[in-house]
Amino acid sequence: MVWNENIECMDRDTLRKIQDIRLKKMVDYVYHNTPFYRKKMQEMNLTPDDINGIDDITKLPFTTKLDLRDNYPFGLCAVPMSQIVRIHASSGTTGRPTVVLYTRKDLSVWAECISRAFTAYGAGTKDIFQISYGYGLFTGGLGAHQGAENIGASVIPMSSGNTTKQIQLMHDFGTTVLCCTPSFSLYLAEAIKESGLPRDEFKLRVGAFGAEPWTENMRHEIDQNLGIKAYDIYGLSEIAGPGVGFECECQNGTHLNEDHYYPEIIDPNTLEPVEQGETGELVFTHLTKEGMPLLRYRTRDLTALHYEKCDCGRTLVRMDRILGRSDDMLIIRGVNVFPTQIESVILEMKEFEPHFLLTVGRENNTDTMELKVEVREDCYSDEINVMTVLKKKLVDRLRSVLGLAVSVKLVEPRSIERSVGKARRVIDNRKL
């Protein structure tokens, strides 16, 4: 099912023409309405006349999270504040939050993009959505809410947390579509089992999961544990929120809504575009945003783009699963490690639960890694021999995938803290 066939399945030459026109218009718009960009362009001796289409995009300046912080709170606003109808902000672990501003039209474009996602998952007016992303400054709750209402579904504005209530309403109201982080979905799956309520009394069939990196192995785990089909939804607040990208029924990459958000992949070191299909840092340029449009925003997310038409009929570019954020990448004894690689290894093995915590430290000038992993109830044993064999199996596999020795600690089921939002899987004490 397609929400907006004209756009989602448009031939790529026509799409490119639309992107050309929109980019040119956008550059002119920010030049005249965002003093920050006018100054940047003047410093680079650029005028809007130098940008005639997408081929010229590499002439434009990049924008980073730091630029947003420096212009806190409303410095990048391109319209009078009277036209802003919504303000979101990322919590930001340190310093000032990152603020994002939406006009009425921005909210409607955002809702359209999320509607494309939900329609691609096969959802419609007969569905009951349980929105278990946090409501508030985070874009997950309100964003998914608007998208679900827009397709005419019934929406339960649940927000995150309160697992018992989540399960009760999911059961009693007959929720068919669950929207939350992949890690919270696993927590809910556990809680459903513990509740003793029979699975066939639930109507749940689809999940819209995102807001944190997750792997293909994690998808299988969720599909099995919840008995549903789990779909990826991608996004970031600076660009809109959830719905910048979404999976279709082929689950062969995440389609990006590139008629509104133009994607590029660059080498994060040289800042030059990479060859098509290569992995690098994802960068977005707003093509239609009014409230706070950004040029070449560096997401820090690492992925690759594929332009061949999808079997579903969509021509919108497909993005690989996010490998991680460049700022999540750990450098351990000179080796690059992403938490998603560890997740993938753990979930390859039937003996482990999908819950882990990696603690990185430094002893005698050498980096150390301790990985706590939960063993499945039916594999957990008091016999030391059994546990030693299991531990060795995991250590060997981690060594062969990461090229590093990891100190593994096997722990009992349910001993690692569960998350209701974005999971925290790494503690790096070296930064403290």
Compute the least distance from the CB of residue 318 to ligand DLL, in Å: 13
361 beta partners: 368
CB of 302 to ligand DLL, least distance (A): 9
Identify which range of 20-28, 209-217, 368-376, 401-409 contacts ligand DLL by CB under 6 A: 209-217
Instruction: Tell me if 325 contacts ligand DLL by CB under 6 A.
Output: yes
Question: What is the per-residue binding string for ligand DLL in 364-383, x denoting contact by CB under 6 A?
Answer: --------------------
Burial of 191 (0-12, 13-18, 19+ CB in 10 A): middle
Q: Which is nearer to ligand DLL, 46 or 131 (CB)?
A: 131
Cβ 14 to ligand DLL shortest distance, Å: 28
Of residues 394-423, those binding ligand DLL (CB under 6 A): none
Binding track, positions 230-269, relative to ligand DLL; x by CB under 6 A: --xxxxxx---xx---------------------------
Q: Is 147 in the site for ligand DLL (CB under 6 A)?
A: no
> What are the φ/ψ torsions at residue 61 (nearest 5 degrees)?
-75, 155
What part of residues 153-192 is at the interface with ligand DLL (CB under 6 A)?
none
Nearer to ligand DLL, 46 or 233 (CB): 233
Residues 6+ apart with CB under 8 A from 283: 62, 263, 264, 265, 266, 296, 297, 298, 299
How do beta strands 177-180 and 366-375 pair?
unpaired
Residue 226: exposure state from Cβ atoms within 10 A (0-12, 13-18, ≥19): buried
At residue 130, what is the residue type?
A: Q
- Between CA 41 and CA 38 the distance in angstroms is 5
Q: How far is CA 38 from the centre of its chain?
A: 31
Cβ closest to ligand DLL, residue 183 vs residue 390 = 183
Contacts 24+ apart (CB under 8 A), 160-169: 160/132, 160/133, 160/134, 160/184, 160/420, 160/421, 161/420, 163/187, 163/188, 163/191, 163/420, 164/191, 164/195, 166/130, 166/132, 166/191, 167/191, 167/192, 167/195, 167/197, 169/130
Smallest distance, ligand DLL to C-beta of residue 33, A = 24
Q: Give the x/- contact pattern for ligand DLL in 70-109, rule: CB under 6 A.
A: --------------------x-------------------
Supply the minimum distance, in Å, between the C-beta of residue 196 and ligand DLL.
Answer: 30
Q: Report the distance separating Cα 206 and Cα 123, nearest Å.
A: 8
Cβ distance to ligand DLL smaller for residue 207 or 242: 242
Q: Could you say whether residue 213 binds ligand DLL (CB under 6 A)?
A: yes
* Residue 339 binds to ligand DLL (criterion: CB under 6 A): no
Alpha carbons within 13 angstroms on the beta-carbon side of residue 371 total 24
Least CB distance to ligand DLL at residue 16 (A): 25
Closest separation between CB of residue 180 and ligand DLL, Å? Answer: 8
Minimum distance, C-beta of residue 236 to ligand DLL, in the bound complex (Å): 4
Q: From 221, 225, 243, select the one nearest 234 (Cα to Cα).
A: 243
3-class SS at 299?
Answer: strand
- Give yes or no for residue 130 binding ligand DLL (CB under 6 A): no
How many other CB atoms sit within 10 Å of the CB of residue 93? 5
Tell me how far apart the alpha carbons of residues 20 and 59 are, in angstroms, rounded to a whole number. Answer: 14
Closest distance to ligand DLL from the beta carbon of 259 (Å): 19
- Residue 340 lies near ligand DLL (rule: CB under 6 A): no
Is 140 a binder of ligand DLL (CB under 6 A)?
yes
> What tokens does 53 get?
């289409």
Nearest to residue 157, comparing CAs of 133, 185, 122? Answer: 133
Select from 67-75, 158-166, 227-235, 273-281 the region that touches ligand DLL (CB under 6 A): 227-235
Neighbours of 199 (CB within 10 A): 11
Question: For ligand DLL, which residue of 68, 322, 330, 408 counts as binding (CB under 6 A)?
Answer: 322
Enter the tokens of residue 22: 């929109």
CB atoms within 10 A of CB 301: 22
- From candidates 211, 312, 317, 406, binder to ligand DLL by CB under 6 A: 211
d(CA 149, CA 269): 42
Size of the site for ligand DLL (CB under 6 A): 20
Binding mask 280-309 for ligand DLL (x = CB under 6 A): -------------------x-x--------
Task: Please select the residue that binds ligand DLL; options are 34, 71, 119, 139, rule is CB under 6 A.
Answer: 139
List contacts with ligand DLL (CB under 6 A). Answer: 90, 133, 139-140, 210-213, 232-237, 241-242, 299, 301, 322, 325
